[in-house]
Amino acid sequence: MHWLWAIIVGFVLGLIARAILPGKQHQPLWLTVIFGIIGGVLGNAVATWIGVNDTKGIDWIRHLLQLAGAVLIVGLGDMIYMSVRGNKRQMT
């Protein structure tokens, strides 16, 4: 069940991150979901590191850190995806 939630949250975080980032992102949707999952895990790790991963009520700081991680990973992932994709087009 944890994997299902990770995929759902990664999908939502990835889509929100794509909406926040300026310009057009070129990676496919499935890669955006994976980047969103990785960003969510990164945000959880930072929240645990600073001690705000489990608070009373809604964990707003943890959720904001997850979103920030998703924006970071989706942005970097798009740059890497385009550099790899661009190199493949030049080779053929």
Q: Which residue has the tokens 């493949």?
A: 88
pLDDT tens per residue across span 3-61: 788 888 889 999 999 999 998 888 999 999 999 999 999 988 998 899 887 778 888 88
What pLDDT band is residue 90 in, cutting at 50, 70 and 90? low
Q: Where are the beta strands (DSSP E) in 1-92?
A: none
Quote the CA–CA distance of 28 and 82 in Å, as a whole number: 11
Give residues with Cβ within 8 angstroms of 37, minimum separation 6. Answer: 6, 7, 9, 10, 13, 14
* Other CB atoms within 10 A of residue 54 CB: 9
